[in-house]
Structure 1
Amino acid sequence: MDVSTLIQVLVILLLVATGVALVSRWLRVPYVAGLVVAGLAITELLPQKIGLNDALILNLFLPILVFEAAINTDIRRLRSTLKPIALLVGPGVILSSGITAVLLQWTLGLPWISALLVGVILAITDTVSVIAVFKEVPVPSRLSTIVEGESLFNDGVALVLFSLILKIHDTGTLTFAEGLQDFLLVIVGGTLVGLALGYLSAGLFVRSEESFSSILLTVAVALGAFQLAHLLHVSGVVAVVVAGLLVGTMGLTSHVSASIRLTLLSFWESAGFIVNSFIFLLIGLEVNLATLWRSLPAVLLAIFAYQVGRLLSVYPLLAIARWIDRPIPLTWQHVLFLGNIKGSLSMALALSIPTTIAGREQLIAIVFGTVLLSLLGQGVSLPWLVKRLSLMPFSQGQKQLEELQAQLIASKAAQDELDSLLRSGILAKSVYEEMRAAYQVKVAAAEKGLREIFSRSPQASDRSTGEQTKLDAVRRRLLLAEKGALTEVQRKGLLSQDIVQKRLQALDEQLLKLGDE
């Protein structure tokens, strides 16, 4: 593909992604599911057919997504949920892969190596969709941490198992002791690579006083950790996860200015969003509907198999977790089971299956169809299911807050319309004043109630998590509005540079503090 055609394709994809973002918000459907559908629809609009490239996803997209998740993960919260996460990403992935493989071999008659490869591929969970749901439907922070922590290490364990199965295929044999040794060597080696690069980059961050150089450093760490680990034949995903956790915990400390931290976190949030947008669009472009239709029975069996594997790994293992850690509520376990959505890494691994594997094309068709139906089925239904579970009940205080907000928004909108009618001459001033006064009474009552809620201490016992989250969002918008006004003043040179910079620094500190609470 020449440069001109590539740019045309990128422009089309960016416009489609923008349109999907607007439409999905309007229709209240998951963004990633909308992207997949859009990818299916625009295949004929592109000047040249493009599709997923396993090397591109594994070497570029995957490190970016993993590092973005790791740098935003609070290692203190992760440590508090380490035991259930370890059960899910260790025994959980192995158990789920094995059960799925057995069912596929039994129902579809696949060779054992092929069945094991598909089992591992379908044990990978794409947590982008689940986290997107959590942004729409509030869930307890501990549940969110478990989901994020599982996704951080799930990919690394699955990739190691995938490599071990290919090694068995190539050599013809692998003892349990050898397999366990290779598994531990790859995981420990990846951890050491991540620790080395993470500590080195954290030291450089303290000396950095420029946000753009810090961004370049983190990009180098994310991509470099993966490539270095690959050269050393250890886990690249584990290396990127460990390096990202260290950069987020040790690198972005109080010794680094708030402006640099905010710029850096905003960059990685944008990078993760862009990469995910391209990946899910490409998933839609890659799927051939005719091939999907022909392989539909096998795809449905594969979906049944991986759901059974997930069911028999999540509930028993989390039942065991109560013996060593705080119990995981049953409703949380439902979310972990229902959030078993497949994504881009599963498709990338399917494409990387060697041509020497029997029935490779059939395996790829099964995985692609499974990913597509998973995104469109579970991805669309998950927000509704999470709401039905009522993980964070709608408190009386939150109900009062939203009722006051609704009253204020509606009354102010009516006043704005009255102002417009007066200016256009449609409404007499006497009638205008009478009607506006009536709405002003509602505005004043709503503002008084909201002021009382806002004036409460954040530690007040009668404030729910949902209320606090909503108030924090409002405060964040106000701080960003202040920052935007000062930035415009600075750009026009209306005030002293030093004065504006000090005020911007103070606002950045408030924003970071608000994000940490």
Structure 2
Amino acid sequence: MDIVLVTTILASLFLVIGMAEPLAARFRLPYSVILAMLGILIGVSATFFLRTELTDALNPVAAAILGLPIRSNVFLYVFLPTLLFQTTLGMNLRRMLDDWVPILVLAVVAVVVATLSVGYALSWASALPLAACLLIGAIVSTTDPSAVVSIFRSISAPRRLARIIEGESLLNDAAAIALFGLFMGFVMLGVPDPNLGDALAQFPVLIAGGALMGWLAARIAVWVMAFFARFERAQISISVALPYLAYIGAEQMIGASGVIAVVVAGMTLNLAGPGRLPPQCWTNLREVWDLLAHWAGALIFILAALLIPRLLEEVRLTDFVLMGVVILAAIAARVVILFGLLPLLTLLRASPAVERPYRVAILWGGLRGAVTLALALAVTESFRVPVEVKRVVGILATGFTLFTLMVQGTTLRWVIARLGLDQLSPIDRALSRQVVAVALQTVREDVARTTENYELSHDIVRAEAKRFGERLDAAVKTAEDSADILDRDRITLGLIALAGHERDTILARVRERTISASMAERVLSHADRLIEGARIGGRSDYQRVARRSVAYDRAFRAAVVLHSRLGLSAPLARMTADRFERLLTERLILRDLGRFIDGRIRRIHGRRVADLLHELLARRVEAVETTLEGLRLQYPGYAEELERRFIRRTALRLEEREYTTMREDGLIGAEVHTALMQDVAARRAAAERRPPLDIAPQRAQLVRQFPLFADLEDAALKRLGRALKTRYVNAGDVIIRKESAAKSVFFIASGAVELESAGQIWRLGRGEMFGQMAILMERPRRAEVRAIAPSTLLVLDEERFRRLLKRSKALRQAVRTSAEKRGIDPDALFSDTPNVA
């Protein structure tokens, strides 16, 4: 084929891609549907001009279009890795983990159910062997929810819902292709009735092998990219090679799932990249991948649509009946998942609630696309598949794809409108009014400052100011006096605005490089959770999310177990350092929010709402300060090192800005500016490195700060530091239960606990102890102790506590004082220990 002709056709396809997006907006249709329509039109036109006798002038072009080397491997090895990899780079994976249950249900369980549903329905309705029917089920089970995701975004659907659908689109291709490979093998081997147990047993092996290959490839790529820190183009080039090498390595070297390998490689780079690559390089890398994925996604739809006329050439009347069976079985399978399994998981609190209208939209938005056509093409290309099976697979997969695109895709917006999802909720309408009022206030202030710099007529300024002020007063009054908004909704609106400003502040700090990119991902995820929590559950959910930021999660507790039982300190040191930096960052951000409440929210929602937000903000600041103080006590000096690092980064940013200003003012030339900026970059690289945290000797230093151990000698303090064990507890955790055996004494290094006994309540804080009474009185616990703040406790066993009590006069006095407060005779505690009295 002439290279000039092929180049012309490819360039023309890019022209088609450029026109498709404006056409989709003009006709209010999903972008993928427009691409499919254009591809079908091109394919039908090429077939018509090649076979017609009206003219021969277009025969070379038509033959070249129909003769394009479009094979299934082109889709699976060239386009699919690009789309999957870009999707993982653009996702907030930490937020995705919050919804992993519904994502896995839709991406894996739904694919398996659809495969079995379509397969057994076709087996009942046709003479095809069961293996071939299940193969068709696997081909049509993968969905392309990009259309419904784009529409949900345009109608301001809950971000969590769009995230669930994005997660489904990321993983369901892997599940469907893995099942396709299993059943394709049975069909080529001539096995009519496969053993489903054996087939599904291979499924986890394919996934695990692909995950291992993807993770290993990404870790190597990140290491190489970090080594080339000064060469941005080299880093981006390595990122382009990564998904293809991971895919080919998994498929060809170990026989695992290439799709899973690409997904895991993208996730690994997503999590590790911001912390290992320069911020500007990471931004540019993602922009390059956005463009590559846009082109790949458009080309895969157009080229797949070109195949549709060819795949439908041998259609028969009976095929339409089988096509109807496939459509009904696939929709029924999706109904079972969306209206059966998901509500059940919601009742079990394993999945967030998805409202019925949204489930209907997801059902009707389950379009099929290029992956389905590519898998069908792979079947038709195989010489080991019977001819009749190839014909039926090609027709049914193509017909089902056309139905979803031309029927579901073209009516999706109408369905969403009928469900009322295109209308803003009352709280969203109030939020839009708030935004208008706040924006107009800001505009008025900016205009007032700007007009001072121009020599304008006072009459003109006065007239325009009066006109603008009337509009502003009307907007503010509308925001304040909305009759359909309850007081609690006003509080919710204020919390949403506050969390949104918190997110904007974080982004500003990231751009200034005073917050590291790796830490920015964590605090941004927390800000997103605050926004969603306030939107869904108001004040209670906002406070719940805020408490999570200072709580000890399961990963941290697992790291504590590894440290205390196996001596593996690296995970705990890394997580503790992360916790230090995150708390310092959050404290920095929270200090800026009070001005926003007074400057913006008070003017819109009034003093009462502003005062309440100040109270909630004060609680967050107190919780962060308390937790941070506990870490300071346990690891003295480390917080100061992090604060020095922050100051150095701030100074470098200001220095860089000064050099740029001098260059713009002409005070220094380009050569001097480049040299100065390179010097700043070198010092910034050193400042970005976080100081290491050594957690091993810190406990002994913490013990020295307890007044209870003030009279112990250095040798005794060292032995005590080795004997004490650290325990971390969250607010609400029960530390001691009533009637439990007394085996340990607890010392509070940070935080606070509440002790309840005989209807009385005592609160203990840092430097105090509990649990000693039951040991000395040799009886079961009579009190229940619960943490009322995230706390760090030092635990000492009974035998060592008794030995320590003999040595320390200060500890004996503390025991006596505690006994007297609780109405216990202190002499009775020491009656059996004469040398201690």
TM-score (norm 2): 0.50
Q: Structure 2 CA distance, aligned partners of 1:394 and 1:237?
A: 42
Find the counterpart in structure 2 of residue 112 from structure 1: 130
For structure 1, list consecutive stretches of 5 or more residues without a partner in the other structure: 409-432, 454-458, 481-485, 507-517
- CA distance change for structure 1 residues 439 and 22 in 2, over 3 Å: closer, same or farther? farther
Q: What is the aligned counterpart of 2:255 among 233, 242, 249?
A: 233
Q: Structure 1 CA distance, aligned partners of 2:395 and 2:12?
A: 26
Q: Structure 1 CA distance, aligned partners of 2:78 and 2:27?
A: 32
Bigger mean CA deviation after superposition, 378-387 or 264-273: 378-387
- SS at 1:252's partner residue? helix
Q: Structure 1 CA distance, aligned partners of 2:498 and 2:148?
A: 22
Find the counterpart in structure 2 of residue 203 from structure 1: 223
Per-residue CA distance 1:244-269 (angstroms, 9 max, x = gap): 0010011222x422211111111111
Bigger mean CA deviation after superposition, 115-124 or 278-287: 278-287
Corresponding position: 1:190 with 2:210: yes
Which residues in structure 2 correspond to 1:357-436 (within 5 Å)? 357=386, 358-387=388-417, 388-390=419-421, 393=425, 395=427, 396-400=429-433
- SS at 1:234's partner residue? coil
Q: What is the aligned counterpart of 2:288 among 263, 267, 272?
A: 267
Q: Structure 2 CA distance, aligned partners of 1:100 and 1:197?
A: 36
Find the counterpart in structure 2 of residue 426 from structure 1: none
Q: What is the aligned counterpart of 2:185 among 167, 178, 183?
A: 167
Task: Report if aligned partners of 1:190, 1:235 keep a CA contact under 8 Å in 2.
Answer: yes
Find the counterpart in structure 2 of residue 282 from structure 1: 303
Bigger mean CA deviation after superposition, 442-451 or 51-60: 442-451
Bigger mean CA deviation after superposition, 125-134 or 290-299: 290-299
Corresponding position: 1:5 with 2:38: no
Q: What is the aligned counterpart of 2:65 among 49, 52, 59?
A: 49
Q: Structure 1 CA distance, aligned partners of 2:492 and 2:302?
A: 45
Find the counterpart in structure 2 of residue 308 from structure 1: 332
Q: Which has the higher contact order (CA 8 A, sep 6+)?
A: 1
Task: Report if aligned partners of 1:398, 1:464 keep a CA contact under 8 Å in 2.
Answer: no
- What is the CA distance between 1:229 and its match in structure 2? 0.3
- What is the CA distance between 1:468 and its match in structure 2? 8.8
- CA distance change for structure 1 residues 92 and 42 in 2, over 3 Å: closer, same or farther? closer
Find the counterpart in structure 2 of residue 76 from structure 1: 94
Q: Structure 2 CA distance, aligned partners of 1:117 and 1:445?
A: 67
Bigger mean CA deviation after superposition, 128-137 or 303-312: 128-137
Task: Report if aligned partners of 1:74, 1:249 keep a CA contact under 8 Å in 2.
Answer: no
Find the counterpart in structure 2 of residue 299 from structure 1: 323
- SS at 2:35's partner residue? helix
- What is the CA distance between 1:154 and its match in structure 2? 0.9
Q: Structure 1 CA distance, aligned partners of 2:115 and 2:148?
A: 21
Which residues in structure 2 correspond to 1:326-365 (within 5 Å)? 326-331=351-356, 332-353=358-379, 354-355=382-383, 356-357=385-386, 358-365=388-395
- CA distance change for structure 1 residues 170 and 12 in 2, over 3 Å: closer, same or farther? closer
Which residues in structure 2 correspond to 1:449-464 (within 5 Å)? 461-463=492-494
Find the counterpart in structure 2 of residue 515 from structure 1: none
Per-residue CA distance 1:437-464 (angstroms, 9 max, x = gap): 97775545556888999xxxxx984158
Q: Structure 2 CA distance, aligned partners of 1:443 and 1:470?
A: 25
Which amino acid is 2:110 matched to? G
Larger radius of gyration: 2
Q: Structure 1 CA distance, aligned partners of 2:438 and 2:352?
A: 37
- SS at 1:288's partner residue? helix
Task: Report if aligned partners of 2:440, 2:472 keep a CA contact under 8 Å in 1.
Answer: no
- CA distance change for structure 1 residues 216 and 15 in 2, over 3 Å: closer, same or farther? same
- What is the CA distance between 1:147 and its match in structure 2? 1.1
- SS at 1:49's partner residue? helix
Which amino acid is 2:84 matched to? V
- What is the CA distance between 1:14 and its match in structure 2? 1.3
Q: Structure 1 CA distance, aligned partners of 2:397 and 2:170?
A: 22
- CA distance change for structure 1 residues 404 and 287 in 2, over 3 Å: closer, same or farther? farther
Q: Structure 2 CA distance, aligned partners of 1:202 and 1:293?
A: 53
- What is the CA distance between 1:24 and its match in structure 2? 1.9
Q: Structure 1 CA distance, aligned partners of 2:412 and 2:190?
A: 42
Find the counterpart in structure 1 of residue 572 from structure 2: none
Task: Report if aligned partners of 1:39, 1:284 keep a CA contact under 8 Å in 2.
Answer: yes
Find the counterpart in structure 2 of residue 28 from structure 1: 28
Find the counterpart in structure 2 of residue 246 from structure 1: 268
Bigger mean CA deviation after superposition, 83-92 or 460-469: 460-469
Task: Report if aligned partners of 1:92, 1:317 keep a CA contact under 8 Å in 2.
Answer: no
Q: Structure 2 CA distance, aligned partners of 1:33 and 1:472?
A: 35
- What is the CA distance between 1:286 and its match in structure 2? 2.2
Per-residue CA distance 1:12-48 (angstroms, 9 max, x = gap): 1111221221222233322211112222333437552
Task: Report if aligned partners of 1:92, 1:313 keep a CA contact under 8 Å in 2.
Answer: yes
Q: Structure 1 CA distance, aligned partners of 2:501 and 2:152?
A: 14
Task: Report if aligned partners of 1:398, 1:467 keep a CA contact under 8 Å in 2.
Answer: no
Q: Structure 2 CA distance, aligned partners of 1:13 and 1:405?
A: 45
- What is the CA distance between 1:309 and its match in structure 2? 1.9
Task: Report if aligned partners of 2:140, 2:397 keep a CA contact under 8 Å in 1.
Answer: yes
Query: Percent of pairs identical after alignment?
Result: 22
Which residues in structure 2 correspond to 1:114-129 (within 5 Å)? 114-129=132-147
Bigger mean CA deviation after superposition, 298-307 or 1-10: 298-307
Q: Structure 2 CA distance, aligned partners of 1:285 and 1:96?
A: 27
Find the counterpart in structure 1 of residue 235 from structure 2: 214
- CA distance change for structure 1 residues 293 and 178 in 2, over 3 Å: closer, same or farther? closer
Which amino acid is 2:334 matched to? R
Find the counterpart in structure 2 of residue 422 from structure 1: none
- SS at 1:359's partner residue? helix
Which amino acid is 1:55 matched to? N
Per-residue CA distance 1:181-229 (angstroms, 9 max, x = gap): 4222111111110111122222333334333222211111111100000
Find the counterpart in structure 1 of residue 642 from structure 2: none
Which amino acid is 2:203 matched to? F
Find the counterpart in structure 2 of residue 428 from structure 1: none
Corresponding position: 1:131 with 2:162: no
Task: Report if aligned partners of 1:96, 1:312 keep a CA contact under 8 Å in 2.
Answer: no
Which amino acid is 2:280 matched to? S
Q: What is the aligned counterpart of 1:256 among 261, 265, 277?
A: 277
Per-residue CA distance 1:392-430 (angstroms, 9 max, x = gap): 62533344268779999xxxxxxxxxxxxxxxxxxxxxx
- What is the CA distance between 1:239 and its match in structure 2? 0.5
- SS at 1:14's partner residue? helix
Q: Structure 2 CA distance, aligned partners of 1:466 and 1:54?
A: 49
Corresponding position: 1:140 with 2:164: no
TM-score (norm 1): 0.78
- CA distance change for structure 1 residues 371 and 400 in 2, over 3 Å: closer, same or farther? same
Q: Structure 1 CA distance, aligned partners of 2:164 and 2:266?
A: 17
CA RMSD of aligned residues (A): 4.0
Find the counterpart in structure 2 of residue 319 from structure 1: 343
